[in-house]
A and B are shown apart, each in its own frame.
Chain A
């Protein structure tokens, strides 16, 4: 503790930027990530590993689609929705995309209000984010129901290559699971924020440690990642 007081009275040395900064940070003593807390670094590293998982799913989908001699079902028609008497291509997926982007927007603002220690606004925006996420999962359940009723199975479908169903259920199912976990994560943290845990230094019931508002940004990182994965799924699975 005395060390910390001593250190904080000193002017911190200016850190190099650019390539010199990279070399200096990585070859320095103690830690390479100079102004990133362990919590944030670990979330990023977890997201990196999750990136590889989703990459493998999308890669196996690409391999299946490129190597089959049977025509691939046209997603534009498969995911079309009849509104009134007009068949609109991909409309449900487009709405889901806008919902997820909106949830990312509210999350980014929640992080901002969190660092201003405005706990009511932070919690409110996190609840809105969670509501958007729950809506997304609900619409996905609707989409799954529709496709299953039409006869799509992991081993076959009425329109073409059999691998379509397996790829669809695997990729969107795994993404939907991530959204669901994100909604739970958001609700847990929003409750803590609203209760003022990070203002009064209340200890977590599981870790017995005090938290701070940075957890809102870390939750946000996970949530934005879920949105990010959807960007790739939307482009590569639904639009391709």
Chain B
């Protein structure tokens, strides 16, 4: 089984160009995900920068739509970096990436349903349970 799999390794070369340098410098021929350490350090630094930015959003006390859009922007960028580089999704075949990444996106449908639902609940509470004193 593993023998069969070996020639299939590292076939999609779109993002794999730099991986061969790492392979060559390795002591033995290693299969699997091989990328230079520098790439991980760069991503690590970016995650630090983005986390600092999202913390500063709170520190400077931005409010309203500016706050929410900045929070979501930094969140999506961080999540994207982690999934794409640390979890190696950028180098997987598309058939696999789509199978894993599309289903969570459908949660957004659930989110929109619950937004309507909670707006409705809020309306009912405001109309029928308002403080009367």
Residues of A within 8 A of B (CB): 3-5, 7-8, 10-12, 14-15, 17-19, 21-22, 25-26, 32-37, 41, 44-45, 47-48, 51-52, 55, 59, 62-63, 66-69, 76, 89-90, 94, 97-98, 101-102, 104-105, 107-109, 111-112, 115-118, 213-214, 217, 220-221, 224-225, 227-228, 231-232, 234-236, 238-240
**B30 cross-chain contacts in A, Cβ below 8 A:** 115-117, 213
Count A-B contacts at CB 8 Å. Answer: 202
8 A Cβ contacts from B29-43 to A: 30-35, 37, 40-41, 43
Decide if A98 touches B119 in the complex (CB within 8 Å).
Answer: no
The smallest C-beta distance from B9 to any residue of chain A, in angstroms, reads 6
**B96 cross-chain contacts in A, Cβ below 8 A:** 25, 32-33, 36, 41, 44
Q: When A33-B96, A35-B5 are in contact, do A109 and B40 touch as well, CB less than 8 Å?
A: yes
Decide if B8 touches A34 in the complex (CB within 8 Å).
Answer: yes
Decide if A228 touches B83 in the complex (CB within 8 Å).
Answer: yes
**A228 cross-chain contacts in B, Cβ below 8 A:** 79, 82-83, 87
Whether, in the assembled complex, B110 has its beta carbon less than 8 Å from a beta carbon of chain A, the answer is: yes
* CA–CA, A44 and B95, complex, Å: 13
1/0 per residue, CB under 8 A from A, across B6-43: the answer is: 11110110100000001000111011111101001101
**A224 cross-chain contacts in B, Cβ below 8 A:** 82-83, 86-87
